[in-house]
């Protein structure tokens, strides 16, 4: 099992690789400045999406990830 520190480092690396330093900083700042509830966000994130839409987004994400 990963430690909390290891997990944080891995997540930051993913954010930096995917979004770059500026958008990563903006994301972290937005979470710190708001009362961000990850569980509620996840509930609403896919609320009105079909399985097909979610699948399509996953495929698009994988393609973008492989282009970097």
Give the pair of three-digit tokens for residue 34: 């708001």
Report pLDDT for 35.
79
Report pLDDT for 12.
95
State the DSSP H helix or E strand holding residue 44, giving kind and residue range, or none if neither: helix 38-45
- In this prediction the pTM is 0.50
Residue pair 24/12 in contact by the 8 Å Cβ criterion = yes
Mean pLDDT of the residues in the chain: 89
pLDDT at 67 over 80: no
Calpha distance 21→58 (Å, rounded): 23
Q: Please write the tens of the pLDDT for every residue from 26-58.
A: 998 988 877 778 888 888 888 899 999 999 999
Report pLDDT for 68.
61
């Amino acid at each position: 099992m990963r430690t909390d520190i290891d997990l944080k480092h891995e997540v930051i690396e993913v954010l930096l690789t995917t979004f770059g330093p500026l958008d990563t900083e903006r994301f972290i700042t937005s979470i710190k400045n708001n009362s961000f509830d990850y569980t509620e966000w996840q509930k609403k994130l896919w609320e009105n999406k079909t399985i097909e839409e979610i699948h399509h987004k996953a495929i698009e994400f994988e393609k973008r990830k492989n282009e970097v």
